[in-house]
């Protein structure tokens, strides 16, 4: 079985816009400082890198699936040989009652089946409660990063049912922390 590091995208890999917690096009995409270094280190590790991202902008008509695929293709081009193994997304809105929108673990379960991933030996890195909760429900260890929504949400962690296992500054620090663990 494979081990994975599941990554939220908006707010973890890239900046979010002031109007939304997500971006709608490649023109809005800006990597966080050191995110590329973290992604490249992850690509060279024993972990698969898998992006799991809620993209309600699709259901709201603010972007298309093709816009989303264009963003992911451009990320892969920039990463070159250090590509992300897979991207999974939920196009649904809050009220759609799907099984894939975080905090539900549907994207984790689908990725685990598709890529033969042992969820209990995997990590989830997110900047928000929904991703931390979904990762915990799926059986992963969780890391809240203080980028994106994380810097605001960290003040409420004590009230969460599923608290993050670790809280770290950014994606690069989180990947370096995972890479340094000798017991994994």
Would you name the residues annotated as active-site residues?
8, 10
* Distances 106 to 98, 109, 122 between C-alpha atoms, Å: 9, 5, 15
| Residue 163 CB-half CA count within 13 A | 9
CB atoms within 10 A of CB 143: 28
3-state secondary structure of 70: helix
Contacts of 178 (CB under 8 A, 6+ apart): 5, 42, 45, 47, 123, 143, 184
């Amino acid at each position: 079985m494979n081990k994975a590091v599941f990554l939220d995208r908006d707010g973890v890999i890239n900046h979010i816009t002031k109007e939304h917690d997500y971006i709608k096009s490649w023109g809005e995409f800006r990597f966080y400082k050191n995110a590329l270094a973290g992604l490249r280190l992850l690509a060279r590790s024993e972990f698969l890198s898998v992006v799991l991202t809620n993209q309600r902008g699709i259901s709201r008509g603010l972007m298309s699936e093709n816009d989303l695929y264009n963003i992911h293709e451009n990320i892969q081009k920039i990463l070159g040989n250090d590509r992300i193994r897979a991207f999974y997304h939920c196009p649904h809105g809050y009220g759609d009652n799907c099984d894939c929108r975080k905090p539900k673990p549907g994207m984790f379960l689908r990725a685990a089946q598709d890529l033969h991933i042992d969820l209990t030996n995997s990590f989830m890195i997110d900047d928000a409660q929904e991703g931390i909760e979904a990762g915990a429900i799926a059986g992963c260890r969780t890391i809240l990063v203080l980028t994106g929504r994380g810097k605001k949400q960290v003040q409420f962690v004590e009230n969460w049912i599923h608290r993050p296992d670790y809280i770290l500054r950014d994606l690069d620090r989180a990947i370096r922390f995972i890479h340094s663990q000798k017991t994994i």
